[in-house]
């Protein structure tokens, strides 16, 4: 099993659809992150969960809804998205007791296209 697995790798959805992105980590970490990369922009932090509690929420629109049912799984629920939400969504994990010097371990990302 690779360290951080994201599904689906590609997703196309209409503005009225509801879909979810899934992330699973097999590294025994207890912090998980959602990052967004839009074209020609740097990676932007969206949400952080530590020990299954949300600890960061960077002014993300409510049409993005995270869920962390346990320390190994993280979801990003999507509803009524806009075309400008099309981007690469990366999940990452780290060890909480090594914040901020512990490195992040990333998945390969979910490429989202909103029509």
Residues whose CB is less than 8 angstroms from the CB of residue 108 and which lie 6 or more positions away in sequence, other chains included:
6, 9
Peptide linkage before 8 cis (omega within 30 of 0): yes
Residue 87 touches another protein, criterion: CB under 8 A: no
Q: Cβ distance 95 to 31 under 8 Å?
A: yes
Residue 42 touches another protein, criterion: CB under 8 A: yes
Which tokens in the block code for residue 49? 């969960």
User: Among 17, 37, 53, 42, which Cα is nearest to 91's?
Assistant: 37
Residue 28 touches another protein, criterion: CB under 8 A: no
**Closest distance between another protein and the C-beta of residue 32, in Å?**
10
Residue 66 touches another protein, criterion: CB under 8 A: no
**Closest distance between another protein and the C-beta of residue 24, in Å?**
13
Closer by beta carbon to another protein, 21 or else 31 = 31
Residue 75 touches another protein, criterion: CB under 8 A: no
Residue 21 touches another protein, criterion: CB under 8 A: no
């Amino acid at each position: 099993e690779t360290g951080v697995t994201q599904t689906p790798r590609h997703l196309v959805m209409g503005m009225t659809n509801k879909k979810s992105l899934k992330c699973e980590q097999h590294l025994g970490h207890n912090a998980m992150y959602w990052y967004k990369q839009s074209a020609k922009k740097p990676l932007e932090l969206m949400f952080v969960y530590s020990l299954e509690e949300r600890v960061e929420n960077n002014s993300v629109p409510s049409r993005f809804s995270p869920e962390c049912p346990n320390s190994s799984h993280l979801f990003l629920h999507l509803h009524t998205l806009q075309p400008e939400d099309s981007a690469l969504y990366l999940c990452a994990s780290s060890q909480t007791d090594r914040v901020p010097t512990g490195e992040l371990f990333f998945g390969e990302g979910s490429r989202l296209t909103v029509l």
